[in-house]
Amino acid sequence: MMSQCFIAASVFLMLGVKTATAQFAVIAHKEVPADTLTQAQILDLYCADIKIWNNKVPVVCFDLKLQSDSRDAFYKLLGKTPSRMKSLWLKKLLMGEGEPPAALSSEEEMVKKVASTRGAIGFVSAAKATREVKVIFVVAKKEK
């Protein structure tokens, strides 16, 4: 419980989010070779522009089925509306260039899936991130 609170607090600080509704964490499988990602990199991952991690493991993105505060905040981070993202995924799908992320029913399922799927990345409310997954720190710009 302490660790979850610590993770949540860290995520809150690193994201610099200002409202209670926007406390979310970008999470990844423990073996994902990245600790920080930029907003642009996360968008590239979710748009299937980046398909493979540096360790050659395929990227597997997860989305949430239902509207939630964390989902809204995550899409806001990407700078896209849900319908715009769905339109981008549809374009990739129909051009044979990629597939939409699997949409999961709950944040608990998101944590389980990300923890058990190599190369996985997802997002949950900051308080739901556990030690089973890696919390990715989102930075404003790519570090040099």
Partner 1 sequence: MIRFKLFGSVILLCCGLSRGYAQTNERDLKTFGYFQVSVSHEKSLTGSTENKSFSLQQLNLFLQKQLTTNWTAFINFEFVNSYSSFRNWGAHSLEEVWVSYRASNQVKLKLGLQIPTFNNLNQIKNLTPLLPYIIRPLVYETSFNEILELGEFVPGRAFVQMYGYIPVGAAKCDYAVFLGDSQNINSNPARGQTGVDTTRFFLLGGRFGIRTDNLKLGASVTFDKLDLHETAEFYGYPVADFKAVPRLRLGGDLSANLGKFTWESEVIRVTYDDDYPQFNKDKQFYYGTAGYHWTERLFAYGSYWVAREKFFPLQDRDIYASTVGAVYNLNEMIFLKAQLARALFKASFPSSLRETAHYYFCALSVVF
- Among 52, 55, 116, 132, which residue sits at the site for partner 1 (rule: CB under 8 A)? 52
Total residue count of the chain as it appears in this document: 144
Query: Which segments within the chain are labelled E, that is strand?
Result: 24-28, 36-38, 60-64, 102-104, 120-125, 134-139
User: What gap in Å lies between CA 77 and CA 56, rounded to an integer?
Assistant: 26
CB nearer to partner 1: give 18 or 56: 56
Residue 139, SS3?
strand
Task: Tell me the closest approach of the beta carbon of residue 60 to partner 1, in angstroms.
Answer: 5
Chosen residue from 83, 140, 143, 144 binding partner 1 by CB under 8 A:
83
Of 3, 6, 35, 86, the one binding partner 1 by CB under 8 A: 86
Amino acid present at 34: A
Q: Which stretch binds partner 1 (CB under 8 A): 8-16, 23-31, 69-77, 89-97?
A: 89-97
Closest to partner 1 by CB, 30 or 82: 82
* 3 counts as binding partner 1 under rule CB under 8 A: no
Please give the structure tokens belonging to residue 6: 């610590």
